[in-house]
Amino acid sequence: MSSTRTSPRRVKLRRAFHHIPRAIGLVSVGARVGAAAREPRLNQVLCQLGVLERDPATAKDAPLLEALPWGGKPVTAPAPRPPAGIDGMWPQGPICHADFYPSVLHLDPRERDDHLRYTALRYLGQIVSASPRAAWRARVRPRVRALDDAKFCELLTQTSLAQHLCSTLSEADRDAFASTMQGELADYAKIDFSGMRPDLALPGIELMPTVTLFHRQRDHRHRVVAIRLRDAVFTPRDGAAWALARYFVLQGAHVQHTVIVHPRLHFPSDVINAVSKSALPAGHLLARMLLPHTRFSLGLDLAVTHHRRSVLFNSQREVYTALPLTTEGICAAVTLGRVGMPGNHAYPTYDYWGVTHDERTRFGRYCQQWQDAFEDFTRGVCAQIPKGDPTVARWADAISEWVPGFPGGATIFRGDLLAQAIARYLTAVTVLHSGDHYSYAAIPIEYLPMRIRVPPPDEVRPASLDLDKLVSAEDHFRHQLCHRMFFAPTVIESLNEVRYRFRTPAARQAAQRFQTAQHQLDARWAGSGFPASYEIASSIQY
């Protein structure tokens, strides 16, 4: 997908407008009305208008949410155990769910204040400001758009969703698709959403595991060949059943992208964030390179994993929770992203180096070129750090204890490994994270139903497909709020605004080269549908 890139001036103007929902949120908190109230009157109005099917206050939360805070209080957790001589934020095991990623549960007050001021208030204000339009659209506008095979392929292979393409077909895949494949196996790829769990879907919601087969074209594009939905295989010749199967694939893309894969960018980086702030002296060259990319993240991620109102847990007591899974299903999906699925290359176990950029896709080339620019920058700076620096070795040892694959102090100085490790972190929290959101959020939600309410085509083969029945008004309303609050980019500080305050001429020259590289990449990828340096957040900020 391509688009006309927004100018830097318009981007800054848009950021200024983000203060409006923050102001509304502040008023809501002060008056204890709107989204700041436990049972907002707005929800009753939405029920009367037919937007909500029932008052969210009647929904029951999963037991694991009982221990989590609802309002502004921090989560209650045991103290972390940093190494001797370190007094500061430190990673520890999560308390929300034993199989989640390590967490940073005790934050410096400034981290919490940043989150409350810039993000939590925005959320509260957006619930109020965005609800009227979302309600109108849910009741009046089409909730699902028709699409053909070309648009289906474009959505899945020309956007950030292309990262889910997998070149390795399992034996089960080859057997299932044997009648639809011709020529070389290397010419085929799949998008595998077999991690979808129908048994963990919300009542009344359908969710199906799918595997989609694509044929790679010579122009780096793809042609969809077939879709396997459980044990049934559908092709374009299957009419309405094929059309419905495509929507189940796109629904799976939501869960895979936002709950299974995207957390790999957020939560392991929190370990590096906290350890860097607590273990590195403020004037150390490594700290000067890392710390500009750490603000706004820890408070955000703590609220995501350890707050009762988090969109992640999908409590139906909130109006912005749009995912198709129960809270238990969400936890299973996050865990799947961390531990993987044995025997399935589409679901690898998390590893720090596990993110690969497929240069046969536009998004893969975009990410790789940015990572190359970061590596050139970090090599120039790391060349000024003495080999065997004990501070860096302790820093690496501390991170490697919590992040699988991160090099420890004994190996971090081998070759360019230090520069590569830092570049991987910087790329993840800036380009990969913002690129994910920017491209994904640009897809109209009417193409991507998050909830489906008709039986899958392997159970009931439809003679025709009524798009109006796929998604309810409440489903679409929730999806709009969720998209506006959590998926659409909300940059507080951009990558091109970062200044590193290096003191050595060589490090300053590396930073200048990096700024030049940013301008070159912005020009190269203009109109691509992927963000420019002034649209990329300098850290994980949303």
The verdict on residue 211 lying in a domain is no
Burial 226-238 (b: 16+ CB within 10 A, else e): bbbbeebbbbeeb
Nearest to 26 by CA among 139, 120, 156: 120
Q: At what angle do helices 41-48 and 121-140 cross, to 10 degrees?
A: 10
The verdict on residue 225 lying in a domain is no
Given this model, what pLDDT does residue 5 score? 64
Question: What CATH number is given to the structural domain containing 503?
Answer: 1.20.245
Given this model, what pLDDT does residue 355 score? 80
Given this model, what pLDDT does residue 322 score? 98
The verdict on residue 191 lying in a domain is no
The verdict on residue 390 lying in a domain is yes
Q: Taking the model in full, what pTM does it have? A: 0.95
Given this model, what pLDDT does residue 1 score? 55
What range defines the domain where residue 95 resides?
Answer: 8-143+256-452+468-524
- Neighbouring C-beta atoms of residue 182, cutoff 10 Å: 9
The verdict on residue 163 lying in a domain is no
518 and 506 in contact (C-beta within 8 Å)? no
Given this model, what pLDDT does residue 4 score? 56
Q: How far is CA 485 from the centre of its chain?
A: 13
**What angle is formed at CA 213 by the lines to CA 459 and CA 206, rounded to 5 degrees?**
30
In sequence order, what are the residues at sequence separation of 6 or more whose Cβ sits closer than 8 angstroms to the Cβ of residue 63?
Answer: none
Mean pLDDT, the chain cut into blocks of 10 residues (542 residues total): 67 86 93 87 94 96 93 92 94 94 97 96 96 96 96 97 96 96 94 97 98 92 96 97 98 97 97 98 96 98 97 97 98 97 95 91 97 98 97 98 98 98 98 98 97 95 95 98 97 96 96 98 97 98 98
The verdict on residue 179 lying in a domain is no
CA end-to-end span of the chain: 23
Given this model, what pLDDT does residue 373 score? 98
Tokens 């060589």 belong to residue: 506
Given this model, what pLDDT does residue 3 score? 56
The verdict on residue 246 lying in a domain is no
Given this model, what pLDDT does residue 312 score? 97
The verdict on residue 325 lying in a domain is yes
Number of domains in the chain: 1
